[in-house]
Amino acid sequence: MGSTIEAVKAFDQVIEPDVVRVALIDTLLDEKFECINVAQMFGEKLYAVRFDTTASRRGNFYRILEECRWELDLRGHGKMKFFVSGGIKEKDVPVLNPLVSGYGIGTAISNAPVVDYAMDIMEVEGRPFSKVGKWGGSKRVVKCAGCGERQIVPNRPVIKQAVCRCGAVIEDILVPVMEEGRALIAAEDASEIRRRTLRNTDGLPL
Ligand SMILES: [Zn+2]
């Protein structure tokens, strides 16, 4: 749809009226302007706005929420509540409580240490399209055969043989393993996959 207003309208049209309306507001635009947009469009019909701000853009999350609260109150939307999600930890809750009515918490209460990752839309039918805080477009990962430095590059049909600052050749390390349900590589022994994975993750900032 490409617009938060259109998405909330569509949700409102098809979901039962007894389900409260909560608008996710920082997918495409800045938190402040988007929460003003939805508040002005839906008014009291909207129960809350949800912030799912990526950590990379968040800075001081409390200050962002405070600013949005101010802007909404100023325009007569003092009843509109705030929900937050996206990498929220237990220790954040008491800090944010004065402004926040509800939390979406996942990874921080998982029962084992995890390597956290997210899946996001990056491209729609060949056109780059991603939420605020994410780099648009499909990508490839290349790695220098000499010094091991990795880079993320746009997924172009032909990647020219590039040379690293250290003089070694940069290799494309993304290997397609499946296409339209068909395996493109031979099955490997699980212990060999484990050995290779440990080798490849060595030196990554995990
Ligand atoms: Zn290099």
Cβ partners under 8 Å of residue 178, min gap 6:
184
SS3 198: helix
- Residue 107, burial from CB neighbour count under 10 angstroms (0-12, 13-18, 19+): middle
In the structure, what pLDDT confidence band is assigned to residue 159 with cuts at 50, 70 and 90? Answer: low
CB-facing half-sphere around the CA of 109: CA atoms within 13 A: 11
Structure confidence by residue, pLDDT tens digits, 35-87: 999 999 999 999 999 998 777 666 788 999 999 999 999 999 999 999 999 88
How many A from CA of 150 to the centre of ligand 1?
A: 9
Q: Check if CATH label 3.20.20.70 holds for domain 4-109.
A: yes
CB 129, CB 123: distance < 8 Å:
yes
Structure confidence by residue, pLDDT tens digits, 103-144: 998 888 877 777 777 889 999 998 999 988 889 999 988 889
CB 68, CB 31: distance < 8 Å:
yes
Please state, in angstroms and as integers, the Cα–Cα distance from residue 58 to each residue in 1, 64, 132, following that order: 25, 8, 11
* Size (the chain), residues: 206
One-letter amino acid for residue 166 of the chain: C
DSSP, residue by residue, 20-47: PEEEE-SSSS-HHHHHHHHHHHHGGGEE
Positive or negative CA dihedral for 197, 199, 200, 203? positive
Q: Shortest CA distance to 85 belongs to which of 74, 96, 76, 77?
A: 96
Name the pairing type of β-strands 102-104 and 123-124. unpaired
Please state, in angstroms and as integers, the Cα–Cα distance from residue 188 to each residue in 29, 83, 193, following that order: 44, 45, 7
CB 72, CB 36: distance < 8 Å:
yes
How many A from CA of 192 to the centre of ligand 1?
A: 26
How many A from CA of 10 to the centre of ligand 1?
A: 50
How many A from CA of 146 to the centre of ligand 1?
A: 5
How many A from CA of 152 to the centre of ligand 1?
A: 14
- Is it the case that residue 158 has pLDDT exceeding 80? no
Average pLDDT over residues 1-19: 92
Domain ranges across the chain? 4-109, 137-201
How many A from CA of 143 to the centre of ligand 1?
A: 8
One-letter amino acid for residue 201 of the chain: T
Separation CA 167–CA 136 (nearest Å): 30
